[in-house]
Chain A
Amino acid sequence: MKLHLFALSVVFTSLGDAPATATPAPASNLIAQDHRKWDDGTRIDLAWDLSADDETLVAAYRISKALARFGDFQVPLKFELVEIVKAGTGEYTVADLARKIRLENIKTKYADIVDIESLEATNQKTFPVAYVFQIVAVGRDGATSAAATTPPITPTMEWFDGGRFWFLIIVVIFCGAVIFFIQLARGGRPLKVRKIAGLEAIDEAVGRATEMGRSCLYIPGILDMNDIQTIAGINILARVAKTAASYGAKLEVPTSRSLVMATARETVQGAFLAAGHPDAYRKDLIYYVTDEQFGYVAYVQGMMVREKPAACFYMGAFFAESLILAETGNSIGAIQVAGTAMPAQLPFFVAACDYTLIGEEFFAASAYLSGSAEELGSLKGQDVGKIIVGLGIIIGVIMLSAASVILDGSPGSPFGTALLNAVEYLKQVILT
Chain B
Amino acid sequence: MKRLIPLWITAIAGIVLIASYFVPYAQGLGELTSIWFDILAGFAFILGGGNLLKVHLKKVSDKVAGWGYSVILLASFLITLFVGLGKIGVHPSPDYPDNSWSGVYNEVGSPFWWLYEYAFKPLTATMFAMLAFYIASASFRAFRAKNVEAVLLLGTAFIILLGRTFAGVWLTSWLPESLSGLKIENISVYIMQVFNTAGSRAIIIGIALGIASTSLKVILGVDRSYLGSARSEP
Tell me if B's interface is mostly helix, strand, loop or mixed.
Answer: helix
In contact, B200 and A343 (Cβ under 8 angstroms): yes
Complex contacts, B23 vs chain A, CB 8 Å: 159-161
In contact, B207 and A348 (Cβ under 8 angstroms): no
Complex contacts, B1 vs chain A, CB 8 Å: none
Q: Does B131 contact A (CB under 8 A)?
A: yes
| Cα distance A379–B223 in the bound complex, in angstroms | 13
Complex contacts, B123 vs chain A, CB 8 Å: 294-295, 298
| Cα distance A280–B90 in the bound complex, in angstroms | 49
In contact, A288 and B51 (Cβ under 8 angstroms): yes
Contact A259:B44 (CB < 8 A) given known A182-B220, A360-B206: yes
| Cα distance A273–B229 in the bound complex, in angstroms | 9
Tell me the minimal C-beta distance from A396 to chain B in angstroms.
Answer: 14
| Cα distance A382–B228 in the bound complex, in angstroms | 26
Tell me the minimal C-beta distance from B122 to chain A in angstroms.
Answer: 11
Contact A266:B227 (CB < 8 A) given known A327-B137, A352-B142: yes
| Cα distance A358–B206 in the bound complex, in angstroms | 9
Complex contacts, B229 vs chain A, CB 8 Å: 270, 274
| Cα distance A110–B2 in the bound complex, in angstroms | 52
- Nearest neighbor of B225 in chain A, beta-carbon distance: A238
Number of interface residues of B (CB under 8 A): 65
Number of interface residues of A (CB under 8 A): 89
Q: Does B22 contact A (CB under 8 A)?
A: yes
- Nearest neighbor of A322 in chain B, beta-carbon distance: B131
In contact, A363 and B227 (Cβ under 8 angstroms): no
Complex contacts, B124 vs chain A, CB 8 Å: 292-295
In contact, A267 and B216 (Cβ under 8 angstroms): no
Q: Does B93 contact A (CB under 8 A)?
A: no
Per-position binary interface string of chain A over residues 159-193, scored 1 when its CB falls under 8 Å from any chain B CB and 0 otherwise: 11100100010010011001100100010000000
In contact, B205 and A386 (Cβ under 8 angstroms): yes
In contact, B223 and A366 (Cβ under 8 angstroms): yes
Q: Does B230 contact A (CB under 8 A)?
A: yes
In contact, A157 and B230 (Cβ under 8 angstroms): no
In contact, B203 and A358 (Cβ under 8 angstroms): yes
A–B pairs, 22, beta carbons within 8 Å: A160-B22, A178-B212, A182-B217, A224-B41, A228-B211, A257-B44, A257-B48, A266-B226, A287-B51, A291-B48, A323-B134, A324-B131, A343-B200, A352-B138, A352-B142, A359-B210, A363-B210, A363-B213, A374-B232, A378-B222, A382-B212, A386-B205
Q: Which residues of A contact B (CB under 8 A)?
A: 39-41, 157-161, 164, 168, 171, 174-175, 178-179, 182, 186, 224-226, 228-229, 231-232, 234-235, 237-239, 242, 257-259, 261-263, 266-267, 269-271, 273-275, 284, 287-295, 297-298, 320, 323-324, 326-327, 330, 341, 343, 346-348, 350-352, 358-360, 362-364, 366-367, 370, 372, 374-375, 378-379, 381-382, 385-386, 389
Q: Which residues of B contact A (CB under 8 A)?
A: 18, 21-25, 27, 34, 37, 40-41, 44-49, 51-52, 55, 120, 123-125, 127-128, 130-131, 134-135, 137-139, 141-143, 153, 200, 203-207, 209-218, 220, 222-223, 225-232, 234
